[in-house]
Structure 1
């Protein structure tokens, strides 16, 4: 099948207008695993905005002829683009938001390659070193803004959701925007786009001209969840673990909409952080919400958390169904507690450095068949450690569903096997099966073929 494509050249928008010869040479050096391949794939994902495709492997194969090259000029750089998806253009001109995202990709790919990787200054084998890395990536992208009160609401939820759930997420964003709150999401479609769209309308009504619509992504997921053009601050992190840490360090209030395994991964990550004894006293507003039709969905999530992590984990969040105004009020009240706590502790409003995140939660997890089989999913461990391992299991399923590397791994070796206690595997199987039945795994209308197999082991 032929897809309409466009060739063009674009000049920079944003901060990165010049590159050194060394940087440009790295971006032009081709080969598997090269910086050029990473930059090309992320750029293609950005240009694919608006197309309902959440299969990274299919995207890369569909636009196999796509390429992007750096042109060094006396007045600065230019991008030479061949075979870009036509949906990124209007009357032959690239949509401004997408153009900005292209240069955000360039900025972050270069920064991580030149300043982070191999730099002894960033001790990535320590918890503090990883947190420092996340801080510097955010600062380089100008996300950290001092002299401002806490007002960033992180919204998590699925890219494959119903129209009713999407419209509800817009209503939530609208109520948040009326209260002067900004939105941070995973930057893709569905429950990531809805709150931004609602907040943008509310900000316009309140004459807020500097509304922030922040999107955090990473190379593995960006092709499956292309950034929507409402995002005006896009940051690409080197892996999902740093992306997740950025959310909890930069956000002040947290809302979870209905979703699939990716949303479950985010929930388990944040519970893994909050269940650590060092974080017991930190105010951390966390609300699960959706329309009336999503009530059963959140009951299933709550039951899974109760069965695996216990009542202590359930106490760390609220569930509010079909009430956008109440959600916005609770988030606003929670953010006031966050502000008071940070002020008392003399911690910055723009970056939560007091939150304790174990290095075990920060280490990148490669979802190979061996690593998935070896996950420790038993109850004879601290709750925050179990939450971290459960998060990895769901992360592996995300990879097998939508990430290029994960899809190829499944095609080559078959389904991932997830082993653990029957008291954990039973609830996990029930939750996963509900995601499949509700078509929350992928956007595609084709029958979903699970990329995983759950193996329950008898508890001694």
Structure 2
């Protein structure tokens, strides 16, 4: 059955109303260097807010006749939508949240691509420049609020979770909301939506009027994880590495729910940063949590981390099973510790400038068959670098699972190959198989999972 569509002319809602001729021309440019294709893809994802899918390529193909055009007007700018999904409208009017998200996409794409690659202090190949760029994008989106005390809890977890896991994440969010804490997630469904939805109820009970539900995404993933309807501040970062850095720079603590390879990537990114010697004294509360039936899942994650990164890495987080109130109390106390530390160090509450992030975590990793096969997956390197390379392996698997470019590569050349030290890869392969068994690789009902990866024997580079 063909999905109904609608044509509409849409006015801005709270983000961006005026553009220069240069910006308009770049958004209209359908060539390789233009922004039209990127804008169209992100706009289509936003118009599918609330529709659960994890296949960006399929989403693009299902709406091949969708188009978005800029219509400059004397009093500003409008967007003309052609064959837009009808579920984004009520009685012919676009839902306000979707309209906000649509112009957030426009705002962030224009801003990110208007900054010259060589701009002073914002170079994309310089660690300090990358952090400054992230700060500028977040400030332009008005995410950074100078007058606010630490209260932002980042929640990570799978988009493909069962109903009981979803309800548990919602109850944790409820407990966080009752304590006046706000939520930041990857903005998609599942464990990204549950905490936000629960927090809205907690905030309502406490008459919190300024609750924040921040969604951080990036162009490669937004089509597979369209923003959920609770998000009230959406930001599109240029790539996955800047998205991950934005999480840890703006968030004051992290809660991890059960998830698949994307969640494992986030865990390894975070632990790799916290293991850096310069970050040893920085307070940053991290809790892994789930229901009693998730205890074995977190034991598996814990054992994988201890095997790959050592017990020091495991000391950076606490595992709390089946106790949402305790999770929230732990985060609330963590917010106080963060506030005390940053006040003493005269660091900003709204952006963690002091956090040291090694360039290996900042420079974009482009998953290809060659780059995946060449990953340095051996023990003869510092723990934070082992975490960085394992993170890239998971990032490649995510790309092959849900990102349009990764899916096309796997379809054309077969699964990505991952090689390295068997002591690292055997537990990795076992964990990936368990993710498949637990249906954490794809959304329920989306068909059998076809692996985008293959573990092969022998290291890509011999360990020294």
Deviations 1:325-351 (A, max 9, x none): 000001111111111110111100000
Residue of structure 1 equivalent to 2:174: 174
CA spacing shift, 1:59–1:401, aligned 2, 3 Å:
same
**TM-score normalised by L of structure 2:** 0.97
Q: Which moved more, 1:327-336 or 1:112-121?
A: 112-121
Residue of structure 2 equivalent to 1:317: 317
Residue of structure 2 equivalent to 1:50: 50
Is residue 448 of structure 1 aligned with residue 439 of structure 2?
A: no
Alpha-carbon offset, residue 425 of structure 1: 0.4
Is residue 254 of structure 1 aligned with residue 254 of structure 2?
A: yes
Alignment map for 1:373-412 (pairs within 5 Å): 373-412=373-412
CA spacing shift, 1:244–1:116, aligned 2, 3 Å:
farther
Alignment map for 1:43-442 (pairs within 5 Å): 43-442=43-442
Q: Which moved more, 1:389-398 or 1:30-39?
A: 30-39
Alpha-carbon offset, residue 290 of structure 1: 0.8
Q: Distance in 1 between matches of 2:334 and 2:53?
A: 36
Q: Secondary structure at the match of 2:224?
A: coil
Q: Runs in 1 of length 4+ with deviation above 6 angstroms?
A: none
Q: Which moved more, 1:115-124 or 1:22-31?
A: 115-124
8 Å CA contact 2:117–2:124 kept in 1: the answer is no
Q: Distance in 2 between matches of 1:266 and 1:145?
A: 25
Alpha-carbon offset, residue 32 of structure 1: 4.1
Alpha-carbon offset, residue 116 of structure 1: 4.8
Alpha-carbon offset, residue 138 of structure 1: 0.5
Alpha-carbon offset, residue 31 of structure 1: 2.8
Q: Distance in 2 between matches of 1:358 and 1:7?
A: 47
Alpha-carbon offset, residue 444 of structure 1: 4.7
Deviations 1:110-160 (A, max 9, x none): 001112545344122221111101110010000110021100000000100
**TM-score normalised by L of structure 1:** 0.98
Q: Distance in 1 between matches of 2:116 and 2:89?
A: 34
Q: Distance in 1 between matches of 2:92 and 2:291?
A: 40
8 Å CA contact 1:53–1:444 kept in 2: the answer is no
Q: Which moved more, 1:122-131 or 1:103-112?
A: 122-131
Query: RMSD of aligned C-alpha atoms?
Result: 1.2
Q: Which moved more, 1:103-112 or 1:122-131?
A: 122-131
8 Å CA contact 2:121–2:132 kept in 1: the answer is no
What count of residue pairs does the alignment treat as equivalent?
Answer: 460
